[in-house]
Structure formats: structure tokens, C-alpha cells
Amino acid sequence: MKNNLLRQSELSMKAFSEPELVRYFTELSYRVFGVSSGFYPLGSCTMKYNPAINEKVASLAGFTGIHPLQDIKKTQGSLRLMYELISSLCALTGMKDGTLAPCAGAQGEYTGLKIIRKARPERKVILVPDSAHGTNPASASVNGFKVVQVNSDLNGLVDLNDLKSKLNSDVAGLMLTNPNTLGLYEFNIEKISDLVHKNGALMYYDGANFNALIGQVKVSENGFDILHLNLHKTFSTPHGGGGPGSGPVLVVEDLVKYLPYRIIKKVTKNNKETYSVTTDKNSIGRISMFYGNFLVAVKAYAYILSMGLDGFKLVSETAVLNARYLQRKLSEKFFMPYKSPCMHEFVLSLDDLKEKTSVTALDFAKSLIDYKMYAPTIYFPLIVKEALMIEPTETENLDTLNNFCDLMFDLLDKSFTNSKELKEAPTLSDVGRIDEVKAVKEPILSVYDEGEKI
Ligand SMILES: *Cc1c(COP(=O)(O)O)cnc(C)c1O
């Protein structure tokens, strides 16, 4: 190395004792709100409890000490874990094989659409319902597809006539979330799949939030050909500020040959199982490392083993029961734009309240923070005005759900009697409400502003 690149003096860093550091990080942790601090009903995000055993298993030296370029003979245990995780996910969805390469749900969509591109090279259009997660049209666009929107009907489900009118020989696939982002099950799913397949197109399942169907429905039987799951939602691995993601893609038999770079195979010889990696010549190529965020896969597999494949039936039943309980109770005083019983989440609208009191969904979200509850997702899906999207998950108990309802009712009363409190919230958190207009008009996109350190 060149001499002028070498450090000339010691780094001047203050030394801290272990207790000082522990206190420092503990204090920081108090300032962060997570699933471990309180109720976190963030719709479309499935903020379920992340079992501590997952972390323990993922910190075992055999997993953390592994190197990507290590001889495959020395990594048989890790390959087996990945193989068995993919097999479990296939068992839960009815798919044939898959990949752990995508490091987020959106990257899973990107991968899945690349496969559709390769399987239907002549076709240029992807259909996406108007209630879809924003990543769906984005993933289709970055893959070079034209996105055509399919409208929802008055019940919040795919409008079959609109779908029929948009199907033609240019359509490569339909991306569908089921239950959709309104928390409603597409009862016409088989009819929809039939229409799409008869048109020669493929069915893509956005399975980011698989919590309502897991253990109940094999989505292959609904007619889906390809899907992604979010291990960091349904399979209890931390997300948001808490950890990296994983969005495995699974496919039906016909599409296996397109899976990205390196597929894990099991070979049984003389009663001995070994694991190898291969790539088909039709593969879409490399997406990222074939093992993805490996330690996330370890945590998800620990969760699957601790639940048992049969245990997921109870997960989905409880997740749906909790959501329906909240939906029913809150509907006593809040407006539900879609009234049918929800699946794992539901959406209410504060549009009417805003008219009467000027209190908005944002004010409600910010106020909940002062009462040590995280806010629901707001202003999504786009088809509901002043939307609050609530997903309690299966890991919350009745007391928590009741406390949340009581708080929501209190805030509703306060909207009429003391709206100022809601408008100014949060006042008890470390960070108050930012000036969003100023943030948009004068964004500071770097920590260095015109050469000055801020
Ligand atoms: C979260 C989510 C995604 C995207 O997943 P990321 O890991 O955030 O990229 C896609 N679709 C739906 C329905 C989601 O809820």
C-alpha cells in the first residue's frame, strides 16, 4: 500500500467501559418503538412478535461463521436448511420449487416478473388492480412492462367485467394480492385465474402478507403460477428498522427452469443425502447471492420448525379472528367503507370526521404514538380517503385489542372536544411532528448541506 494512504497517527477515539456502552445502547433502544415495545397494528406489514429463539438459532457459530466461497462439502448443513425451507414454503403454497435469492418483497416481485418476461417474451402488459401495493406496478415497470390498472367493484374486489375488457394477447400476467390490501378475500379467484389462463397469461400472487391463508389455502389451487412471500412479515423475522428482508419466489413446475442463478438440489445415493447447486440454461440469471439474506432464512426456518406445518392453521385463524374482532368493535363508531367481514386486516375511513372536525388520519396516527401504540398504515390503499389500515396479527391478546379500541374511541371524542391535542401530537416522543410541507419544499437529502456539516 502507498505510504501516503497509511494512517500517520493513532485514531483519537474515546474509550468506554462495558457498563457505559450497555447504558448507552439501552437508552437508545428506549427511544425506538418496535413490536417489543407495544402494539404495532401497521396494516400490510404483519408486525407480529419475533420469537427470541429465532435470534438464538441464527447466532449459532456454524451459521454466522460460514463463507460464501467455502467448499460445498463444508456447507452441506446450510444448504440442507435452505433446501428444507424452500420445501416447507412449497408445501404451504403448493408450488414446485423456488429461490431464496430476493432480499425483499419488492425484489421478489422483480424476480417473478423477470420470469414472466422470459416465459411470455412476446407480451408486454401486466395487469394490476387499483388496490395493489405500490411495489406491484413499480416492479412491472422496471421490468419493461406496460402497467394496466384493473378497477375494483363496489365490494372492493376485482371487477370481473373490467378485467375481461383488459385481457388481450398482449397481457403477460395479472398480479394479485389475496386477501387484497382492503383485507378482503377474492371470492372469484378461480374464475379470475381461468380468464387469465385462457388468455395465455400467468397468475402472479403477491404473498407478502400470507397470514390469512397460511395453513388454510394452497394458492396453487387458486390457479397461481408464481409468487413471492415475505419471510420478514408472515414468517416472524424482524423488519423495518429491525432487520433485513427476504422475499423468496416460488413457482409451478413449468416455470422452474427460469428460476434465478443457482438452485439447490438434493441427491440421495446409497441412503445418503447430499446437496448441490445448479443453474438451468433457461435461467433468468443472477438476481443477488443465491442464498439471499441467509440468516433471515435461518430465523424463518426456526419459526416454521417451532410451529410445525400444521401449526399455521392456528396462526391464520387467530390473525383473522383478531382482525374481525377489531373491525366489528370499531365499526360501532368508525366508518368502514367495505363492510364484509375482513381477513387479516381491514380499512376504515376518517373522511367524514375530517369534514366535521378537520381531524385527519395523520392526526390519529400521530396521536396514538403518545399513548405508546404504533400507528396503523395511513392513506393506503389509495382507493379509500383518509384511510387507516389496521392489522393486529395473531400475536396480540384480547386486552391489547380492547385497549386499542378504547383509545381509538377516546381520540374520536377528543376530535370534537379538543382537536388541538390531536393536531399537535405527538408531544411525548423524542421526535415531534415534522413540518411536512417544508420537508417537501426544502428537502435536505444529505447530511452535508452546501459544504457545511449539520
Ligand atoms: C410489504 C409488501 C410488499 C413489499 O415488500 P418489501 O419487503 O417491503 O419490499 C409487497 N406487497 C405487499 C402487499 C406488501 O404488503
Report the pLDDT averaged over residues 137-157.
97
User: Mean pLDDT throughout 101-116?
Assistant: 97
Is the CB of 135 within 6 Å of ligand 1? yes
**Mean pLDDT, rounded, of the chain:** 95
Query: Nearest 5°: phi and psi at 126?
Result: -115, 130
Fill in the amino acid letter for 225.
D
Residue of the CA atom closest to atom 4 of ligand 1:
105
Which grid cell sits at 31?
427511544
**Length, in residues, of the chain:** 454
Residue 2 has pLDDT above 80, yes or no: no
Burial class (CB in 10 A: 0-12, 13-18, 19+), 118: middle
Atom of ligand 1 nearest to the CA of 247: 7
The answer, yes or no, to whether residue 186 has pLDDT greater than 90, is yes
Statement: residue 103 has pLDDT above 60: yes
Encode pLDDT of 253-265 as tens digits. Answer: 999 999 999 999 9
Residue 391 near ligand 1, beta carbon < 6 Å: no
Predicted local confidence at residue 451, as pLDDT: 53
* Residue 448: per-residue pLDDT: 57
- Residue 454's pLDDT band, with cuts at 50, 70 and 90, is very low
Is 106 near ligand 1, meaning CB less than 6 Å away? yes
Query: Is the CB–ligand 1 distance for residue 393 below 6 Å?
Result: no
C-alpha cell at 323: 382482525
Q: Write out the three cell numbers for 80.
A: 440442507
What's the pLDDT score for residue 102? 97
Whether the pLDDT of residue 19 is over 50: the answer is yes
Q: What is the pLDDT of residue 32?
A: 85
Closest among 242, 250, 234, 249 to 304, alpha carbons compared: 234
**Predicted pLDDT at 452:** 52
- Most informative mutation of 42, 133, 182 for ligand 1 (most atoms within 8 A of CB): 133
Mean pLDDT of 236-242: 84
* pLDDT of 6 higher than 90: no
Note the pLDDT of residue 450: 54
- Over range 346-368, report the average pLDDT: 97
Q: Mean pLDDT across the stretch 17-31?
A: 93
Q: If you average pLDDT over residues 321-344, what whole number do you get?
A: 97
293 lines ligand 1 (CB under 6 A): no
List, in order of start, the domains of the chain with CATH numbers. Answer: 55-307 (3.40.640.10), 311-428 (3.90.1150.10)
Residue nearest to atom 8 of ligand 1 (CA): 105
N-terminal to C-terminal alpha carbon distance within the chain: 34
Alpha-carbon separation of residue 169 from 2, 33, 96, 125, 164 (angstroms): 62, 49, 27, 9, 12
